[in-house]
Structure 1
Amino acid sequence: MLPCYCPSCKAQLKVKSLKCENCETEVMGNYELPILALLSTEEQDFILKFVKHSGSLKEMANQLRLSYPTVRNLLDEIIEKIKSYEK
């Protein structure tokens, strides 16, 4: 998983450079990480499953073998986390 927070002070990391392994071109700057990259691996997996199931919480509940309200709560928690990153 991509490190998103400083191991020393826990501040959010930013991307400083990107490099093409094919031609060695390097792009330098100070870029924010995408919001989805800040989510945990489990939360990212949930979002991928959500998209693959066309946003059907009912289908996700069946696949995950969880109740619909539990899956709804998981989604609501991720939504709140995303909203907190946007501030």
Structure 2
Amino acid sequence: MQPKLPIQCPSCESSLSVTQLSCSNCSTSVSGNYTLPLLLQITEEEQNFILQFFLTSGSLKEMATQMGNSYPTVRNKLDDIINKINQLKTK
């Protein structure tokens, strides 16, 4: 199993930032203080929901059927993710 990229500090739960990237081919390293891409700042569950949305061509009805949930439940989940992403964009 591949380790998951942490997005929150395990000590204080603040957002983490990327401080170093390295090339496994030539060992070049780049250092700095970079924010995580927007979609990596949401939970894995939210990322999977977005992926499922994409794979069902944006059909919330199909997602509801696959997930065994009602359409309004799936719609509310999508709205929650949209609101969270909008809040992250303004930070």
TM-score over 0.5 (shorter chain) = yes
TM-score by structure 2 length?
A: 0.88
TM-score by structure 1 length?
A: 0.92
Counterpart in the other structure of 2:32: 29
Structure 2 counterpart of 1:39, from 26, 39, 42: 42
| Distance in 1 between residues matched to 2:55 and 2:16, nearest whole Å | 29
Gaps of 5+ in 2: none
Counterpart in the other structure of 1:55: 58
Moved over 3 A (4+): none
| Distance in 2 between residues matched to 1:61 and 1:9, nearest whole Å | 36
Structure 2 letter corresponding to 1:79: I
Number of aligned pairs? 87
Gaps of 5+ in 1: none
| Distance in 1 between residues matched to 2:35 and 2:83, nearest whole Å | 20
> What is the deviation of 1:28?
1.4
Matched, 1:17 2:40: no
What CA RMSD, in Å, does the superposition of the two structures yield over aligned residues?
1.1
